[in-house]
Amino acid sequence: MTPSTPRPLRVAHLIESDGPGGAERIVAGLARALQDAGAWNVIFLPARGEGWLARELTGSGVAIEEYRLDRPLSPACARALTASLRRHRIDIAHSHEFTMAVYGAWASWAAGIPHVVTMHGSRYYAGRLRRRLALRAALAGRTRVVAVSHQLGGHISRDLRVRRSRVVMVPNGVRFTEPAAGTLRQELALGRDERLIVAIGNLYPVKGHRHAIEALASLGDRHPAVHLAIAGRGELEAALAAQARALGIERRVHLLGLRADVAAVLAAADVVVQPSLSEGLPLALLEAMFAARPIVASDVGEIGAALDHGRAGVLVPPGDAAALAVAFDALLTSGDRARTLGRRARERAVAEYDLSHMVRRYRTLYDELLSERIPVHSINRLPGNSQQRRP
């Protein structure tokens, strides 16, 4: 690098978990894309974690650091993060979800660098006053808060009593790759006349899978050869299997576990369902849109906007198994409508939700923050500055 060449942007990403979830996948995609574009990235992960995120980034050039957070309030963790930000000469810190929003704000303030916080859909912070106060304090100064949905932005504004204009909206984005081949139908031994509904999402109550199973059971008379496959892992695996047995449809409900071949799973679907009770903007929905699948989804979070308010997918009230069943029936019996919705979904995904759009929006936000003046406490630590100055 010559003296006239600007130093590459150096970004730290901080996240409180490293399993295969939506927020973690966003961090991986963002860091990899920024790295490919010439920035230098490091991701701070919890020690003794699952290791999924680090494995996902193998060979990308993105650095991995671990932090230790052994109790809810840990000045030692904040000091260690601050030291790491300085050692890596980080220009901007980007934290994800509540815990690292607080510690990222603490460390970035001490290091004298701007800070971005992305909230991905969880309102974990809202349940207790001290959490709300901690997050409100974290959003002060040179911190910008990002919501992945307009609904979540409204919640943040009201919960934390901050101006809505201070909450930036950046929709999620994915990089979709067409599958080379799909074998799911063969795996499930489905006949040519059997149809398949697919759900992608970890097996947690908020994902609403039990309502999709209930809807499938109610379709038995009209669609006795329709199957439901759910790709994901989680605490409800045994409960969902028991529900299917109790409804007498255990042979038509398939719990696939965690899958690395999501694109191939989606390619096998006649219909994709997203029955969540609460969401921001789920990556599984965007992947189904890119795959041009007809989609039935709960009208929560940013899902309605992503599906063009019903013009690119069927929207139903959350938790309404009867409405899910009606929507399934309509798409399974009208191939033309199913294909039209799938085509519109693909067009929307390409126009609005490609990973490149999300990365560009975040880079613009980084540049805006970096263009602001350096705060007083940072100037005072620069070599040769022993007197307090105004920014």
- Give me the pLDDT at residue 209, please: 98
Residue 322 dihedral angles phi and psi, to the nearest 5°: -65, -40
Q: Are 34 and 41 in contact (CB under 8 A)?
A: yes
Q: Is 383 exposed, middle or buried (0-12, 13-18, 19+ CB in 10 A)?
A: exposed
Which strands sit side by side in the sheet containing 271-274, from one edge to the other?
253-257, 226-231, 195-200, 271-274, 295-298, 314-316
| Cβ count within 10 A of residue 270 | 18
- Give me the pLDDT at residue 68, please: 93
The overall longest dimension of the chain from CA atoms, in Å, is 81
- Give me the pLDDT at residue 378, please: 37
Superfamily holding 10-174+355-379: Glycogen Phosphorylase B; (3.40.50.2000)
- Give me the pLDDT at residue 3, please: 53
Which segments in the chain show pLDDT lower than 70? 1-5, 373-391
- Give me the pLDDT at residue 390, please: 32
How many CA atoms are closer than 13 Å to the CA of 73, on its beta-carbon side?
A: 3
Angle at 121 between CA 116 and CA 126, to 5 degrees: 90
DSSP state of 209: H
Q: Work out the mean pLDDT of the chain and round it to a whole number.
A: 91
Q: Are 247 and 271 in contact (CB under 8 A)?
A: no
- Give me the pLDDT at residue 142, please: 80
- Give me the pLDDT at residue 5, please: 60
Torsion of CA 359, 146, 166, 155, to 10 degrees: 150
| Cβ count within 10 A of residue 319 | 15
- Give me the pLDDT at residue 384, please: 35
Dump the DSSP string for 317-348: -TT-HHHHHHHHHHHHH-HHHHHHHHHHHHHH
Angle at 210 between CA 256 and CA 280, to 5 degrees: 85
At a CB cut-off of 8 Å and minimum separation 6, what does 118 contact? 23, 26, 94, 95, 96, 97, 145, 146, 147, 148, 170
The two structure tokens encoding residue 192: 């040519």
Q: Are strands 226-231 and 195-200 parallel, antiparallel or unpaired?
A: parallel
- Single-letter code of the amino acid located at 247: L
Residue 104 dihedral angles phi and psi, to the nearest 5°: -65, -40
Map residue 296 onto helix, strand or coil: strand
The two structure tokens encoding residue 224: 């006795």
How many CA atoms are closer than 13 Å to the CA of 213, on its beta-carbon side?
A: 27
Q: What are the pLDDT digits (tens) for 206-246?
A: 999 999 999 999 998 899 999 999 999 999 999 999 999 99
DSSP3 helix / strand / coil % (the chain, rounded to 5):
45, 15, 35
Distance separating alpha carbons of residues 33 and 22, to the nearest angstrom:
16
Domain residue ranges in the chain:
10-174+355-379, 184-352
- Give me the pLDDT at residue 46, please: 94
Instruction: For 184-352, give the CATH class.
Output: alpha beta
Distance separating alpha carbons of residues 335 and 390, to the nearest angstrom:
67
